[in-house]
Amino acid sequence: MSTENVSASGFGADAGDRGKRILSALLSTGTIFILLLILWVWITILNPTFAEPGPFLAYLKRSAPLVILAAGAYFVLVSGNFDLSVGSLVTVMVVVAARLIEGEPSRTWPVILLLLVIGAVVGFANGFISTILRVPSFITTLGMLLILNGAVFWWTGGAPRGALSENFRSIGRQGIEGIPWIEQLPWSVILMFVIGAASVLLMRADFGRQLIATGDNERAARLSGVRVDRVRILAFVLSGVLAAVAGILLGGFGGVSAQVGKGLEFDAITACVLGGVVLGGGRGSVVAAMAGALTLEALFTWLNLQGISGALEDTVQGVIIIGAVGFAAYRLRGAR
């Protein structure tokens, strides 16, 4: 179990409370890994090639953007807020990249830098409005979602123009070639693990402890010296930057489309609650949230193998969110 679930030492928690919270976190994070393993085994029974290196890496490659988005959503959720703008931000990344690059490889890296800056700026705007101006994050990010969707439609006229260069698309499509047994290690999978490791280190640092303390009890965190506003704004910035990274990967996968990010904000939130992150803040592990994204993608694969319509994916997500929130509320009542 990662230590990011544990409340910050120095915030007045006694050893008994800390032990109960560690046990609770172990139970919640362990469940998602068991569910993920069951789904992997079930999919392998239905389609034995799934366990082979190529198909399994293809699954990880397909899951990478959602896993990265889930890590970003985790930072915001655990601080006690929501970010509903990440799906539209992903769309902005792809549309802006295609328009500015116009198929010219030399423009790729400057444009990628610009996309990361745009992600950070949008995240900062969400964080500033939510924390400094005291507008509820649900309203702020819903408004940002509409603003970004409107901006994309205005700029493109409903039909994205331009083209992504091959070296831009290779980030999502290709990888390190010539590796024995697996032949290719996709860049998207490498990025997913690097961001996962960095997220764990961040949550084990002072920032992570302050973030959880803020989501758990804002007043207590302020009295303990935590700069709550700064911590929450930084969480939104991280969410925006990771949405930009996910957009870069998805641009390589699916090309230029004004629908590429549609619904991804709900996928990311579903992944987090599936991983045991409590809506309202203060509880959850970033590793479990990322495992929740892998589980959600595995669940969609299982549904596809069962011949169940993809149109039911939204229904499944709705059931997961209501079920997970209801279960968390039940556990919290039992803990009191």
**In sequence order, which residues have a C-beta less than 8 Å from that of residue 261 and are 6 or more positions away?**
86, 87, 88, 89, 90, 91, 92, 93, 94, 247, 250
**Which tokens is 268 given?**
């990311």
Q: What is the DSSP letter of 178?
A: E
Question: Average pLDDT of 236-254?
Answer: 91
Rounded CA-CA distance 317/27 in Å is 22
Average pLDDT over residues 168-181: 86
What is the four-CA torsion angle of 302, 306, 309, 312, rounded to 10 degrees? -50
SS3 168: helix
Res 181: pLDDT:
79
Residue 28 scores a pLDDT above 70:
no
CA distance 243 to 11: 32
pLDDT of residue 333: 64
pLDDT above 70 covers a percentage of the chain that reads 88
**Residue 22: which pLDDT band, with cuts at 50, 70 and 90?**
low
Backbone angles phi, psi at 175, to 5 degrees: -170, -160
According to the model, what pLDDT value does residue 8 have? Answer: 46
For domain 32-306, is the CATH number 1.10.287?
Answer: no
Over 70: is that where the pLDDT of 125 sits? yes
Distance of CA 180 to the CA centre of its chain: 31
Q: What is the pLDDT of residue 1?
A: 41
DSSP 184: E
Cα separation, 7 vs 224, in Å, equals 13
What pTM does this model have? Answer: 0.87
Task: Provide mean pLDDT across the span 217-234.
Answer: 91
Residue 13 identity (one-letter amino acid): A
Confidence of residue 240 (pLDDT cuts 50, 70, 90): very high
Q: Are 21 and 7 in contact (CB under 8 A)?
A: yes
- CA-based nearest residue to 235, from 64, 93, 71: 71
